[in-house]
Amino acid sequence: MKPLRGPIQWFALLVIFAVVLSIPYAIVNPWALHIGGRSTAGRQWDGLGQIQASNGGRYVLYAHVEGGAPLDSLRRSSHGGFHGKSDNLHGTAELCTESGAVHTFKLTGVVDAWWTTDGAPTTIDLTGGAPVKLQSGWVVAWHGSWHGPALELQSPDNSFTQAFTPRGEIRRVTSTADAGTARVTLLYGSHDDFAAACATLTRG
């Protein structure tokens, strides 16, 4: 039998490399391969939902996440340098508002799971921001859990309502007068679904 040559040989090598690279993730974070009960071989999941906030504001939240701890975190863990729960969710979040503004944030978090996300406690933190940044050091924190395909989250620590006005502008000054809660249920959906939901929101 003749050895593989040319493009076929390179394709076979790439497949082998991809399989080898995925082994650490599959062992440590197998839930990342079926986030929300879906087949997510690429470890990526997109979801969106409408936020219900105690300040009366209306917003739509979209999350693009990649599951699984980074390889450097896995190496630290294998050498005894890992303590506590490391972030195993990374990505971006977008928030559209009644005013028509769309804010983009860095997303990090933790899914406390091994085999499945169903029932898994989950935390998500939003930081930074573009085109307008959150106040320096401010974190919009979400806590909740997965229920089948739905990620149900709450922001019970005032961090959402103190960061955003009911119209969706980012506050420059925080006040206890703006304390409140917010909750959202994220369900699988594309960025096009997010754009359509935002268009509906701004039309009232």
The string of pLDDT tens digits covering residues 131-145 is 999 999 999 999 999
Give the least confident one: 36-50, 53-67, 166-180: 166-180
Comparing C-alpha atoms, which of 82, 186, 43, 174 is closest to residue 124? 186
Q: Does the structure show a pLDDT above 90 at 10?
A: no
At residue 76, the pLDDT reads 42
- The answer to whether residue 142 sits within a structural domain is yes
Mean pLDDT of 110-133: 96
- Distance, in Å, from the CA atom of 4 to the CA atom of 147, rounded to the nearest integer, reads 47
- The answer to whether residue 57 sits within a structural domain is yes
What is the pLDDT confidence band of residue 68, given thresholds at 50, 70 and 90?
Answer: confident
Query: What is the four-CA torsion angle of 154, 156, 160, 166, rounded to 10 degrees?
Result: 90
- The answer to whether residue 1 sits within a structural domain is no
Q: Does the structure show a pLDDT above 60 at 1?
A: no
How many separate domains does the chain show?
1
Mean pLDDT across the chain, nearest whole number?
A: 86
- The answer to whether residue 118 sits within a structural domain is yes
Q: Does the structure show a pLDDT above 60 at 18?
A: no
At residue 11, the pLDDT reads 64
Q: Who wins on pLDDT, 47 or 203?
A: 47
Q: What pTM was estimated for this model as a whole?
A: 0.82
- The answer to whether residue 34 sits within a structural domain is yes
- The answer to whether residue 14 sits within a structural domain is yes
At residue 119, the pLDDT reads 97
Q: Does the structure show a pLDDT above 90 at 79?
A: no
What is the pLDDT confidence band of residue 72, given thresholds at 50, 70 and 90?
Answer: very low
At residue 86, the pLDDT reads 85
- The answer to whether residue 166 sits within a structural domain is yes
Q: How far is CA 15 from CA 6, 24, 30, 70, 178, in A?
A: 15, 16, 19, 20, 53
- The answer to whether residue 120 sits within a structural domain is yes
Find the domain containing 72 and state its range: 6-203
At residue 16, the pLDDT reads 62
